[in-house]
């Protein structure tokens, strides 16, 4: 056996795979398949960026139309999955409900090829996220409207009313920002499961489990709860100071890769301002966020990450807070599928080592003699 290397805590700075899907850098840049996130945020659609991430190139018009039609065809969720969701207690966390639903989808979605499974799991996510919420809240199941785009349908099913073009555009910008982020905790989890040759549903169910945690995708919901607790810009500095003094986390801040700026949070910040201005709501929320951001930078030199500005955008789009992390998942699943595919190109099962620190050579004592 070759010499065992000791990896740093949290695998910080260790490359465990090659990827051509996305790259985030400490200098505050992020690319999907070579394209700057800012360009995709400003000019692309969710469907087009999804195509880019899955197939490695921007589609032609006809390729995109064909892809959109396929996504629409796959967007209906089998009703036995909703029947399963109806058995879940109403106080369950939305990420637990969604994880159960995706796992249920895997147990029922027979008869289609593995390539179709990968597209259908992406296409079904808006209906799944919306209806997991609706069922838990005692509302009727909503079906996608074939005349609407994926992001329009998502808001339509989630809120029960059709969004304005501007609302759908804002929401779609956030979905683009959340699509993919190289080897984060959930993508790594998906690759580990893929490496065992388990199916895409198993891998995505595991990805959802990893994403739920507040240090990862759960941070957007936690950041929104925190912002509501702080209340106004005047309270921001003292809140941050007290939180850091207790050695607690300020949610929506810090990142393993970005040390000065997360490019996604800066795009989302601009979007939040634009949304509030367009809605004529005043800039109180924006000023609160900015005050928290500058206090965290002053005391700890940590940048806001994407989740910090995503949370108030979702709130101002009348999206229920408990669906924030499921919405993140509905977009990130595209990255997970791409990582699943990439892992299988040159696969070897992930099986790291551990340094054993336990005892050895103990003598077994029968239960009655202990
Ligand atoms: N609040 C307070 N202190 C923090 C925070 C924070 N949000 N983030 C990091 N720190 C502290 C660490 O405790 C550490 O302090 P120390 O040097 O005094 O021990 C120092 O800053 C450096 O931390 P890192 O090594 O850079 O953090 P790491 O890479 O291990 O973790 C993580 C990154 C999990 C994102 C962390 O910053 C965090 O917990 N943030 C809050 C949760 C969050 O917003 N997660 C979303 C991440 S982005 C995403 O998933 C989309």
Please identify, by atom number, the ligand 1 atom nearest to the C-alpha of residue 223.
44
Mean pLDDT over residues 294-322, rounded? Answer: 98
> How many beta carbons lie within 10 A of that of residue 156, not counting itself?
20
| pLDDT tens readout for residues 44-69 | 999 999 999 999 999 999 999 999 99
Closest of 326, 240, 315 to residue 285, by C-alpha: 315
Q: What is the mean pLDDT of the chain?
A: 97
Please identify, by atom number, the ligand 1 atom nearest to the C-alpha of residue 253.
7
Residue 3, pLDDT score:
84
> How many beta carbons lie within 10 A of that of residue 357, not counting itself?
5
Closest residue by Cα to atom 18, ligand 1, is: 247
- Tell me the pTM: 0.97
> Does the pLDDT value for residue 265 go beyond 90?
yes
Q: Are 336 and 207 in contact (CB under 8 A)?
A: yes
Helix, strand, or coil here: 25? strand
The separation between the first and the last C-alpha atoms of the chain, rounded to the nearest angstrom, is 38
Q: How buried is 356 (Cβ within 10 angstroms: 0-12 exposed, 13-18 middle, 19+ buried)?
A: exposed
- 302 CB less than 6 Å from ligand 1? yes
Residue 302, pLDDT score:
98
Mutation test residue for ligand 1: of 254, 259, 266, 327, the one with most atoms within 8 Å of CB: 254
255 Cα–ligand 1 center, Å = 6
| pLDDT tens readout for residues 80-116 | 999 999 999 999 999 999 999 999 999 987 788 999 9
- 243 CB less than 6 Å from ligand 1? no
| β-strand partners of 304 | 253
**Separation CA 292–CA 230 (nearest Å):** 9
Q: How many residues does the chain have?
A: 370
With b for 16 or more beta-carbon neighbours within 10 A and e for fewer, the 232-269 pattern comes to ebeebbebbeebbeeeebbbbbbbebbeebbbbbbbbb
Residue 171, pLDDT score:
98
Mean pLDDT over residues 169-185, rounded? Answer: 98
Closest of 18, 47, 54, 49 to residue 35, by C-alpha: 49
| β-strand partners of 32 | 22, 35
- 256 CB less than 6 Å from ligand 1? yes
- 327 CB less than 6 Å from ligand 1? no
Write down the number of H helices and E strands in the chain: 16, 3
302 Cα–ligand 1 center, Å = 8
**307 is known as an active-site residue:** yes
Residue 2, pLDDT score:
67
Please identify, by atom number, the ligand 1 atom nearest to the C-alpha of residue 252.
44
* Nearest-5° Cα angle at 53, 48 to 55: 90
- 305 CB less than 6 Å from ligand 1? yes
> Which domains are assigned to the chain?
36-214+322-345 (1.10.580.10), 219-316 (1.10.230.10)
Residue 109, pLDDT score:
75
Residue 1, pLDDT score:
54
> Does the pLDDT value for residue 358 go beyond 60?
yes
Q: Which of 181, 182, 255, 262 is catalytic?
A: 255
**Separation CA 321–CA 123 (nearest Å):** 22
**Separation CA 128–CA 122 (nearest Å):** 10
Helix, strand, or coil here: 18? coil
215 Cα–ligand 1 center, Å = 8
Closest residue by Cα to atom 4, ligand 1, is: 249
The secondary structure of residue 322, as a DSSP letter, is G
Map 202-254 to HEC letters.
HHHHHHHHHHHCCCCCCHHHHHHHHHHHHCCHHHHHHHHHHHHHCCCCCCCEC
Q: Are 320 and 139 in contact (CB under 8 A)?
A: no
The first and second tokens of residue 138, run together, are 């005692």
- 335 CB less than 6 Å from ligand 1? no
208 Cα–ligand 1 center, Å = 20
**93 is known as an active-site residue:** no
| pLDDT tens readout for residues 218-227 | 999 999 999 9
């Amino acid at each position: 056996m070759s010499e065992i290397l000791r990896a740093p805590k949290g695998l910080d700075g260790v490359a465990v795979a090659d990827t051509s899907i996305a790259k985030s850098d400490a200098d505050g840049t992020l690319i999907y398949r070579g394209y700057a996130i800012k360009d995709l945020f400003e000019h692309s659609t969710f469907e087009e960026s999804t195509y880019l991430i899955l197939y490695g190139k921007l589609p032609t018009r006809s390729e995109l139309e064909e892809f959109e039609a396929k996504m629409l065809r796959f967007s209906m969720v089998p009703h036995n999955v909703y029947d399963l969701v109806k058995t879940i207690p109403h106080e369950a966390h939305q990420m637990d409900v969604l994880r159960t639903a995706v796992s249920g989808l895997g147990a029922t979605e027979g008869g289609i090829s593995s390539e179709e499974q990968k597209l259908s799991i992406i296409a079904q996510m808006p209906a799944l996220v919306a209806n997991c919420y609706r069922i838990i809240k005692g509302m009727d199941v909503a079906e996608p409207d074939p005349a609407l785009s994926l992001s329009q349908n998502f808001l339509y099913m989630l809120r029960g009313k059709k969004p304005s073009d501007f609302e759908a555009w804002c929401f779609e910008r956030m979905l683009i920002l959340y699509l993919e982020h190289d080897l984060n905790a959930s993508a790594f989890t998906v690759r580990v499961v893929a490496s065992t040759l388990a199916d895409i549903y198993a891998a995505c169910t595991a990805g959802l489990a990893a994403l739920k945690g507040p240090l990862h995708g759960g941070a957007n919901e936690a950041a929104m709860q925190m912002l509501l607790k702080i209340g106004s810009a005047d309270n921001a500095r003292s809140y941050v100071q007290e939180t850091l003094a207790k050695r607690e986390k300020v949610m929506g801040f810090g990142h393993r890769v970005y040390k000065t700026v997360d490019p996604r949070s800066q795009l989302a910040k601009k979007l939040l301002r634009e949304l509030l201005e367009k809605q004529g709501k005043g800039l109180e929320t924006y000023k609160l966020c900015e005050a928290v951001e500058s206090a965290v930078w002053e005391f700890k030199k940590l940048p806001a990450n994407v989740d910090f500005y995503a949370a108030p955008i979702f709130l101002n789009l009348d999206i229920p807070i408990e669906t924030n992390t499921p919405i993140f998942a509905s977009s990130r699943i595209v990255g997970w599928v791409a990582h699943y595919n990439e892992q299988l190109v040159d696969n070897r099962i992930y099986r790291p080592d551990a340094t054993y620190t336990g005892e050895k050579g103990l003598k077994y004592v029968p239960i009655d003699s202990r």
